[in-house]
Amino acid sequence: MIRVEHLSKAYRRKVVVDDLSFSVEGGEAVALWGPNGAGKTTVIRCLLGLVGYEGLIEVGGVDARTHSKVTRGLIGYVPQELGFYGDLTVAETLALSSDLRGLPRTRIGEVIEAVSLEAEAGKRVSELSGGMRQRLGMAVALLPDPPVLLLDEPTSSLDVTARRRMVSLLDSLRGPERVLVITSHRVEEVGMLVDRVLALEAGHLVHECPPGELAGRLNLESWLHVVLPSEQTVTALAHLAAAGFDAHENGHGVLVGVSPEDKVSALGCLREGDFQIMDFEVWR
């Protein structure tokens, strides 16, 4: 469905994407992962024909450079920074998008319902919260029921609850005919949403792997925060240190530096020492 070959892009003289090649088959969900400045958003902009580039991009077998209007018709796009007309209502924004695509307005109600914006349909966009605007962006992208969905950091500006809801929505959008391309810098989020990760660094493809292998390939260290009764903290620190863990006191518990594979063994070590684990979470 998407074929990218030897894609390169430079802004003035700064190379942002350098000789990048990948393809995405129908039904696949792929993440473009990388730190800020890795070139993820630029790849998305190239796919949409918003910027000029060197190399070849095909969407649905159509050249995105020479037939960008056709390829954009196949794509639903949710940008990282959502630019809407603030004086339009949610329903008017979707009507404008529908008219621009030459679609009947009959699907507007359906997509408003899909993103749970029924109560806000008559509200002006300027009155919406960040999470609601993100859902409106998703509604605009879903309006043509496109075979390709491009989502640029879809959860970056959301709080925990809205993020959980968005992840659930994205998961529901997966299908045998639909391609999902998501940019993200969150390893845990990528793991929940996609089949394959393309890890970018300074515009280069450095790893291509299943999401479960990403953290290991990148040697990413996590911090395991374990909440313990306060009287157990000092002895737990000594116990973990004796087992070879890098542990520190933190608030109501301990913070243990762990590789992706060591999270369970750190918890096991505390259980073996009869420490009362009250709660835990993983920080990256």
Are 34 and 200 in contact by the 8 Å Cβ rule? The answer is: yes
Tell me which stretch binds another protein (CB under 8 A): 93-101, 187-195, 229-237, 273-281: 93-101
Task: List the alpha helices (DSSP H) in the chain.
Answer: 40-48, 68-73, 90-101, 108-114, 130-142, 160-172, 187-193, 211-217, 233-242, 263-272
| 79 part of the interface to another protein, by CB under 8 A | yes
Phi-psi region of 260 (alpha: psi -120 to 50; beta: other; left: phi over 0): alpha
Are 264 and 230 in contact by the 8 Å Cβ rule? The answer is: no
> What type of residue sits at position 145?
D
Number of residues in contact with another protein under rule CB under 8 A: 37
Nearer to another protein, 141 or 240 (CB): 141
| 242 part of the interface to another protein, by CB under 8 A | no
| 147 part of the interface to another protein, by CB under 8 A | yes
The rounded radius of gyration (Å) of the Cα atoms in the chain is 22
Are 141 and 77 in contact by the 8 Å Cβ rule? The answer is: yes
| 74 part of the interface to another protein, by CB under 8 A | yes
Nearer to another protein, 124 or 185 (CB): 124
Please pick, from the candidates 22, 33, 45, 170, the single residue that binds another protein as defined by CB under 8 A.
Answer: 45
Please pick, from the candidates 89, 97, 222, 232, the single residue that binds another protein as defined by CB under 8 A.
Answer: 97
| 73 part of the interface to another protein, by CB under 8 A | yes
CB of 114 to another protein, least distance (A): 17
Tell me which stretch binds another protein (CB under 8 A): 81-89, 223-231, 236-244, 269-277: 81-89
Q: How far apart are CA 200 and CA 95, in angstroms?
A: 37
| 51 part of the interface to another protein, by CB under 8 A | yes
Nearer to another protein, 11 or 283 (CB): 11
| 72 part of the interface to another protein, by CB under 8 A | yes
Tally of helices (H runs) and strands (E runs) in the chain:
10, 14
| 91 part of the interface to another protein, by CB under 8 A | no
Please pick, from the candidates 43, 75, 115, 228, the single residue that binds another protein as defined by CB under 8 A.
Answer: 75
DSSP at 173: T
| 99 part of the interface to another protein, by CB under 8 A | yes
Long-range Cβ contacts of 8-17 (<8 Å, 24+ apart): 8/53, 8/54, 8/55, 9/39, 9/42, 9/46, 9/51, 9/52, 9/53, 9/54, 9/203, 15/203, 16/42, 16/203, 17/42, 17/43, 17/46, 17/53, 17/203
Tell me which stretch binds another protein (CB under 8 A): 83-91, 110-118, 209-217, 258-266: 83-91
| 22 part of the interface to another protein, by CB under 8 A | no
Nearer to another protein, 154 or 253 (CB): 154
Residues that bind another protein (CB under 8 A): 1, 3, 11, 45, 48, 50-52, 58, 60-62, 68-70, 72-75, 77, 79, 81-85, 87, 96-97, 99-102, 140, 144-145, 147
